Amino acid sequence: MSDDSAVQRTLVLLKPDAVARGLTGRVLARFDDALLKIVAARMVWMDAELTRQHYFDLEERFGPEVYNLMARFMQSGPVIALVLEGIGAVPCARKIVGSTYPDQAAPGTIRGDFAHMSRAYANASGLPVANLVHASGNATEAEREIGVWFTKAELFDYPCAAQRFTS
């Protein structure tokens, strides 16, 4: 689905820094508040294969140094993977998450409120940008990423109270 006015599904990852900092409940509440329904969830310690599948094009786009830095970061602790569903779920989740670089993220977004590392600091220190959350960039990416993390049998379809206000 590419229509942002339609009900969509998107992948969101709560990265190792969000889990380690105990922010999972506060982050999930942001999506709940926006009427995005959790239709799949799992906690995973990413291995090399899952990392490669998820970040399949990162090395090609940014080089092996960036890929290796991100892979080490994503494998440094557990990750919570979620599939969220709702009207325009992809752009809605992206708006809630905020700009990729936390120092550029607006107040009120997850990254703007909870993460403040700049790209320049990360690069100068040889660190990945600790930005707490991944959210699919578009509907095509969401569909591919959901397939990496979940089977169709693991995606739930159920009514929720919020649907009274959205259907």
pTM: 0.92
pLDDT for 148 equals 97
Strands (E), 34-107: 37-44, 79-87
pLDDT for 161 equals 75
pLDDT for 23 equals 98
81 forms beta bridges with 13, 42
Report domain extents, the chain. Answer: 7-155
Q: Which of 30, 3, 12 is nearest to 87 (CA)?
A: 3
pLDDT for 167 equals 62
Which CATH number applies to 7-155?
A: 3.30.70.141
Beta-sheet strand order (sheet of 7-14): 37-44, 79-87, 7-14, 133-135
* Secondary structure (3-state) at 39: strand
Largest CA distance in the chain: 50
Q: Which of 84, 134, 136, 145 does the annotation list as catalytic?
A: 134
Active site residue 54: no
Q: Which of 44, 41, 38 is nearest to 79 (CA)?
A: 44
First vs last Cα of the chain: how many Å apart?
A: 18
Q: Going by C-beta distance under 8 Å and a sequence separation of 6 or more, which residues neighbour residue 60?
A: none
Q: What distance in Å separates the CA atoms of residue 51 and residue 45, rounded to the nearest whole number?
A: 10
Each residue's pLDDT tens digit in the chain (167 positions)? Answer: 456 678 999 999 999 999 999 999 999 999 999 999 999 999 999 999 999 999 988 888 877 888 899 899 999 999 999 999 999 999 999 999 999 999 999 999 999 999 988 989 988 998 888 999 999 999 999 999 999 999 999 999 998 876 777 66
